[in-house]
Amino acid sequence: MGGQACILYGGAEFSRDIDLSIGVDSENLIAVKRALAQLEACVVFLPALEVEALKRGHACHFRCQAEGVEGLRIDLMTKMRGCPDFSGLWDRRSIVNIPDIGEIGLLSLPDLVRAKKTQREKDWPMIRRLIETDVSANLAQADESQIVFWLEECRTPILLSKLAQDHPTVCKGVMTRRPLLEAALTQDLSTLEDLLHSEEKTEKEIDRVYWQPLRMELEQWRRQRKE
């Protein structure tokens, strides 16, 4: 669900860690803990890997020490802002086949894009690259649902304007949810760029507000641990 997924979708990102979304039913959590034990993974930050922490939206962080994976960071989450619950993510997942490894599941591209709408500066260029790559690879055979997704999420002014011009009826339908598409449709690229920047700032603030109580909870746990 992180940098490795971006690489597999064609977005160039170097990542030293692995971010995973996991189900939190008791049987699955036992399997996850067993896998972490095989990797000799130690907790590097609070909280511990517990159902309640994951359901509240916290990430659980580990550092591997087993031979061959020394220093590898693994971050686990179940709940992400703007995304469906785990069962929804699982039902919508993409499957890729990696040589010598086999099939693995990735967040669907729409869910990955939503998960990347964070306060971190590096995530926004990645959203842009992911959509550009998807359009380049699939434009010739795209159906209306894919055009809608691009119009909802594209962050490249020239590309977004072209999509709006090529699909004006679909664009007008999406415009009620994303008003900046009016500037895309009229090819007002200067205004469009400003509106995209404003949209990004709004999402960052929403993310900051979302994480504020979770960060306060983490700080409380740290203080309790010291006491």
pLDDT of residue 1: 83
Task: Tell me how far apart the terminal alpha carbons of the chain are, to the nearest angstrom.
Answer: 35
Q: What is the mean pLDDT of residues 160-186?
A: 97
pLDDT at 14: 66
pLDDT score recorded for residue 160: 98
What pLDDT band is residue 46 in, cutting at 50, 70 and 90?
confident
Stretch 141-148: mean pLDDT: 96
The pLDDT value given to residue 227: 64
Domain boundaries, the chain: 3-109, 123-209
Residue 45 has a pLDDT of: 82
The CA distance from 156 to 192, in Å, is 9
**pLDDT score, position 60:** 93
Taking alpha carbons only, the member of 182, 146, 177 closest to residue 165 is 182
Residues 97-113 have a mean pLDDT of 92
pLDDT computed for residue 9 by the predictor? 82
Residue scoring higher pLDDT (42 or 17) = 42
My answer on whether omega of the bond before 168 falls inside 30° of 0, hence cis, is no
Average pLDDT, the chain: 92
Taking residues 151-172, what's their average pLDDT?
97
pLDDT for the residue numbered 13: 64
Residue 56: what pLDDT?
92
* pLDDT for 200: 98
* Lowest mean pLDDT segment, chosen from 119-123, 172-176, 199-203: 119-123
The mean pLDDT value for 160-182 works out to 97
pLDDT at 196 over 90: yes
Residue 12: pLDDT above 70? no
Environment class of residue 212 by beta-carbon count within 10 Å: exposed (0-12), middle (13-18) or buried (19+)? exposed
Per residue in 57-104, pLDDT (tens digit) is 999 999 999 999 999 999 999 999 999 999 999 999 999 998 888 998
Band (pLDDT 50/70/90 cuts) for residue 17 is: confident
Confidence of residue 120 (pLDDT cuts 50, 70, 90): very high
Percent of the chain with pLDDT over 70: 98
